[in-house]
Amino acid sequence: MLSKRQFLQAAGLTVANQLGAIAAQPSDAKRKVIIVTFGGGVRYAETFSKDGLRNIPRLAELQPAGHFFRDCRNLGVLSHFNSTASILTGQWQRVDDFGFQPPASPTIFESFRSQRRVSPAETWAICTNKSFASIAPNTNVVLPKQLLLEAVKDVVSKGGELGVADRSNVQRRLETILQEGCEGVGWTIFKGGRQLDKKVRDTLTHALVEYIHGPEAPTSGDELTFFITREVMREFAPQLILVNFWDMDVAHWGSYSLYLQAVTRTDRLVGMLWDEVRENSAYKDKTTVLVLPELGRDGDINAANGFLNHRSGDASCRNMWMLALGAGVDKGETEGPIAHVDIAATAAKLLGVKFDAAGKPIPEIV
Ligand SMILES: [Zn+2]
User: Domain extents for the chain?
Assistant: 27-143+220-351
CATH class of 27-143+220-351: alpha beta
Say if residue 195's pLDDT is above 70. no
Mean of the per-residue pLDDT values of the chain: 81
Q: What is the pLDDT of residues 332-362, one digit of tens each?
A: 999 999 999 999 999 999 999 999 999 999 9
CA 259 to chain centre: 20
Q: How far is the CA of 309 from the centre of ligand 1 (A)?
A: 6
Three-state helix/strand/coil letters over 286-307:
CEEEEEECCCCCCCCHHHHCHH
Structure confidence at residue 8 (pLDDT): 35
Q: How far is the CA of 310 from the centre of ligand 1 (A)?
A: 7
Q: What is the pLDDT of residues 96-109, one digit of tens each?
A: 877 778 999 999 99
Q: How far is the CA of 247 from the centre of ligand 1 (A)?
A: 10
- φ, ψ (nearest 5 deg) of residue 334: -120, 125
Average pLDDT over every residue of 51-60: 97
Structure confidence at residue 33 (pLDDT): 98
DSSP string over 24-57: HS-TTTT-EEEEEE--S---GGGTTSTTTGGG-H
pLDDT tier at 182 (50, 70, 90 boundaries)?
Answer: very low
Q: How far is the CA of 139 from the centre of ligand 1 (A)?
A: 24
Average pLDDT over every residue of 80-105: 93
Q: How many helices (H) and strands (E) does the chain have?
A: 13, 9
Rounded to two decimals, the pTM is: 0.83
